[in-house]
Amino acid sequence: MSIRTAIPNRFAGKTALVTGGTAGIGHAIATELMREGCKVAVSTLPADAGAGREAFSALGFAPLILEGDMANEAFCRQLVGETAKQFGPVHFLVNNAFSFVAAGLDGRREDFERSLQVGPLAFVMMAQEFCRHRSPGGGAIVNVSSISGAIAQPDRWTYNGSKGMVNQLTKCMAMDLAALGVRVNSVSPGWIWTRENEKAAAGDPEKYRRLWGDYCMLRRLGQASEVAAAVLFLLSEDASFITGTDLPVDGGYQSLGPEGLGQNTVIAGTPD
């Protein structure tokens, strides 16, 4: 569900590729781009393709859906080429697909490999291929990172380490691709209501919405469409002088101290 007002035709005549675009944040990004006139291709795992098509169809959209695994280098290379073949030069790349593998001290090598291959390594290959098929006028890349790339969380060496790599890659990509007219930024979502949260809520979504909302200054979880709005801003000409930076979409999560929201904290010097 979108909670924002689309800007008609802001991306008319443009082409975008969104990886992992059939569910959650990726689906919201692809949908909002199409609402604003963009031609969109999305990647998805084959198991998610059917549900993805139905979800887009219900909204009146029919993006190009390409099925495969982002851990497969050949598929990554194919994605951008097929998008360009269908739509022409590619203006925007949104590296969103990621593998949520949570492992720490006991993590297996394959856990780390999966997290890296579907995440930052795929981001690298996609950026390389994007530069070969980009619009002559340049373009923009947005990498979807996470609050997890900036903080420590228990048993998250895999996921947090991989997201941290995305943050550093974004800066390095931005430096090297500026000469090609390509801006590169990232967004770091916080607690966003997605199907992963729905699973974790174990049938009591309202209880967990309140609980997780207490981790954020705004006292609620975010919506996928709010992340999409930030991504579209970074892709747009409104962000024409912004590159190499990360935009947190976290309701103030990263700015909270150990006191949290302070409901039970007495601060010296304040009235009783």
Active site residues: 159
For 269, the 3-state DSSP assignment is: coil
Nearest to 67 by CA among 55, 56, 87, 53: 53
Tell me the C-alpha distance between 117 and 58, whole Å: 32
Could you tell me the end-to-end alpha-carbon distance of the chain, in angstroms, rounded to an integer? 43
Q: Please answer whether residues 162 and 119 qualify as being in contact, where contact means their C-beta atoms are separated by less than 8 angstroms.
A: yes
Is the CA virtual torsion 55, 61, 62, 64 positive or negative?
negative
Helix (H) or strand (E) holding 66: strand 64-67
CA-to-CA dists, residue 32 to 13, 71, 155, 176, angstroms: 15, 26, 34, 29
Instruction: Please report where in the chains the tokens 């007002």 appear, as a residue.
Output: 5
Residues sharing a CB contact under 8 Å with residue 77, sequence separation 6 or more, in sequence order: 125, 129
Instruction: Please report where in the chains the tokens 């291929």 appear, as a residue.
Output: 129
